[in-house]
Structure 1
Amino acid sequence: MKVSRKKFSADFKAKVAIEALKEQKTIPELAIQFDVHPTQIQSWKKQFVEEGSRLFSEKAVDTKRQDAEEARLYEQIGKLQMQNDWLKKKLQ
């Protein structure tokens, strides 16, 4: 019989890591509550602490990237509208 691995969403991992960081319950208690191995909780907690600051630093970069992409798309829409109008005039 094949045993499949459990796959957890990023939201679930973050929720468990935050609960572990709160330290209101022990890791074994959280493991029972969330049905996850204690070692896995420690791993997620460590990963959350190490990479959590990246969330805030990348937000500004993502905003700039989104603005540039948005400007490029609006430019492309404008060109396509001009081409569409030109083709409509040619067909008449």
Structure 2
Amino acid sequence: MSTKKNYRKHTAAFKTRVVLEALKERETLSELGHRYQLHPTQIATWKKEFLSGAEHVFGDGPVVDAKAHEKERAELHQQIGELTVTVNWLKKKLL
């Protein structure tokens, strides 16, 4: 008989709150673990993940190409127009 371990799923908001508390260093990881019912190693792992992704917060991010967006918008408006004509035509045929 195999026993399957049930792992708890934590929300991103919860993980962020725990990591921010850990970064303040007012309490040890053991104390935080006791308070949040987590293993200190788990908190340390989340902290490392958080810090490794921190550089992306202030990065350039994706470059917004205004011309490409405008072209896509125009194409979508054209499709909307064509679909509207088709719907109206079908409505007339059914009546």
TM-score (norm 2): 0.66
What is the aligned partner in structure 2 of residue 13 from structure 1?
A: 15
Q: Does 1:82 align with 2:85?
A: yes
**Structure 1, residues 15-67: CA drift from partner, whole Å, max 9, x if none?**
11111112122111110111110001001001001112324548x539x49x9
Q: Greater RCO between the two (CA within 8 Å, min separation 6)?
A: 1
Distance 1:12 1:81, change over 3 A: same
Please tell me the residue identity of whatever aligns with 1:76. Answer: Q
Task: Report which of the two structures shows the higher radius of gyration computed on alpha carbons.
Answer: 2
Q: Distance in 1 between matches of 2:58 and 2:78?
A: 30
Structure with bigger helix share is 1
Distance 1:61 1:22, change over 3 A: same
Moved more, 49-58 or 8-17: 49-58
Please state whether the residue corresponding to 1:61 is helix, strand or coil: coil
Identity among equivalent pairs (%) = 39
Distance 1:15 1:75, change over 3 A: farther
Question: RMSD over aligned Cα, in angstroms?
Answer: 3.1
Q: Distance in 2 between matches of 1:23 and 1:48?
A: 15
Q: Distance in 2 between matches of 1:75 and 1:21?
A: 52
Distance 1:84 1:54, change over 3 A: same
Residue 76 of structure 1 and its aligned partner are, at CA, apart by 3.5
Gaps of 5+ in 1: none
